[in-house]
């Protein structure tokens, strides 16, 4: 009630009139409001595009821009192979719209889309092979919140990542066998990345590396590395009326709206976010108030 009485006074409306606008607009025909979609609709319907502060967004990995290298050193010989990658990254962003101040990657799952084939030559004439299938990387525990620099870069240390998949090998001296990567303990890994927004798309790029010992019982056969760059994107569509940017349309948004009422473009009180009619009219008026009413109590989650 504190917000409602303040808004009524600021707008020059009585409480019954304000409630009447809310109720009548909420049940009015679609022609009452111009371009006011339900939260989460398509870009053509949306006026304001921004992520929710602190909400864990899921970024989908783009295989065309993501490449993972798997390499191994066995008995002094090294070979490597590469594969595109798919998967997802879950990350939080603050303050909720570009330029971002902090991020925290809280989970990820990366899958290599191609088989890994490694070939080793010992003493020029002796040949050994290793084949990796179903190779992937998961996060077991995230590191701390990372600050985003002016160049969009960030550094998130102290993450625990684990590898999965099967390496089948046929090596001289060592013999024939398989190595199940998922049986190893998680490995510490730092994540170095970039994050930027080109509305409505947010892009996150991360570089990572896992060093993995190749063992047969107590015998160390060599070392493997899984490293690469992953680029993932998410699209964020936002309700027009969520002026307070908390994912819910309520009297918090009315308070923001009231502070701009009834300003016109050029006034110090004018807020373009409150000018929700499309195309914008350059003034904050009852048409914008009806848009808030149409979204009343809607959520962006």
User: pTM value?
Assistant: 0.68
Q: Is 290 left (phi over 0), alpha (psi -120 to 50) or beta?
A: alpha
Q: What proportion of the chain, given as a percentage, has pLDDT over 90?
A: 48
pLDDT at 93: 86
Band of pLDDT at residue 295, cut at 50, 70 and 90: confident
Tell me which of 190, 212, 235 is where a domain ends.
235
Beta strand residue intervals within 95-125, DSSP E = 102-112, 116-122
What gap in Å lies between CA 249 and CA 242, rounded to an integer? Answer: 5
| Helix and strand counts by DSSP (H, E) for the chain | 4, 12
Is residue 152 situated within a structural domain?
Answer: yes
Is residue 222 situated within a structural domain?
Answer: yes
Q: How many Cβ atoms are within 10 Å of 33's Cβ, its own excluded?
A: 23
pLDDT at 23: 52
Same domain for 62 and 171, yes or no, is yes
- pLDDT, greater one: 87 or 274: 87
The contacts of residue 33 (CB under 8 Å, 6+ apart) are 25, 290, 291, 294
Same domain for 93 and 139, yes or no, is yes
β-strands 201-216, 219-235 pairing: antiparallel
Same domain for 22 and 163, yes or no, is no
Rg (CA), the chain: 27
DSSP letter string, 173-201: TTEEEEEEGGGSPPEEEEEEEEEEEETTE
What gap in Å lies between CA 175 and CA 250, rounded to an integer? Answer: 68
What is the length of the chain?
301
Is residue 78 situated within a structural domain?
Answer: yes
Tell me which of 201, 220, 235 is where a domain ends.
235
pLDDT at 49: 45
pLDDT tens digits, one per residue of 13-58: 555 556 555 555 444 433 233 333 333 333 444 444 445 566 678 8
Distance from the Cα of residue 218 to its chain's centroid = 41
pLDDT tens digits, one per residue of 142-176: 999 999 999 999 999 999 999 999 989 999 888 89
The number of folded domains in the chain is: 2
Pull the structure tokens for residue 104. 């925290």
Q: Let me know if 132 is exposed, middle or buried by CB neighbors in 10 A (0-12, 13-18, 19+).
A: buried
Same domain for 83 and 39, yes or no, is no
Same domain for 186 and 114, yes or no, is yes
Q: What is the CATH number of the domain that holds 124?
A: 2.40.160
pLDDT tens digits, one per residue of 80-111: 999 999 999 999 988 666 678 999 999 999 99
What residues make up the domain containing 220?
Answer: 57-235
Same domain for 163 and 106, yes or no, is yes
């Amino acid at each position: 009630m504190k917000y409602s009485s303040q808004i009524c006074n600021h707008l020059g409306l009585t409480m019954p009139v304000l409630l009447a606008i809310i109720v009548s607009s909420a049940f009015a025909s679609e022609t009452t409001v111009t371009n006011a979609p339900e939260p989460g609709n398509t870009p053509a319907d949306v006026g304001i595009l921004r992520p929710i502060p602190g909400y864990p967004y899921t970024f989908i990995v783009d295989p065309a821009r993501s490449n993972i290298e798997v390499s191994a050193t066995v008995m002094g010989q090294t070979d490597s192979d590469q594969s595109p990658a798919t998967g997802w990254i879950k990350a939080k962003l603050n303050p909720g719209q570009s330029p971002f101040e902090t991020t925290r990657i809280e989970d990820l799952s990366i899958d290599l889309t191609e088989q890994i084939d490694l070939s080793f030559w010992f003493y020029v004439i002796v040949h050994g092979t290793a084949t990796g299938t179903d190779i992937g990387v998961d996060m077991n525990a995230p590191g701390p919140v990372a600050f985003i620099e002016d160049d969009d870069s960030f550094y998130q240390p102290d993450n625990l990542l684990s590898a999965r998949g099967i390496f089948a090998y046929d090596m001289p001296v060592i013999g024939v066998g398989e190595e199940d990567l998922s049986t190893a303990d998680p490995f510490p890994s730092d994540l170095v990345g970039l994050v930027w927004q080109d509305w409505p798309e947010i892009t996150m790029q991360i570089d990572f590396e896992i060093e993995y010992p190749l063992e047969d019982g107590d015998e160390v056969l060599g070392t493997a590395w899984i490293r690469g760059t992953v680029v993932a994107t998410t699209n964020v569509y936002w309700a027009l009326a969520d002026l307070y940017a908390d994912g819910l349309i309520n009297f918090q948004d009315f308070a923001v709206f009231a502070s701009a009422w009834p300003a016109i473009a050029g006034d110090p009180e004018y807020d373009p976010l409150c000018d929700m009619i499309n195309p914008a009219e350059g003034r904050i008026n009852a048409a914008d108030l009806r848009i808030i009413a149409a979204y009343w109590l809607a959520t962006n989650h």
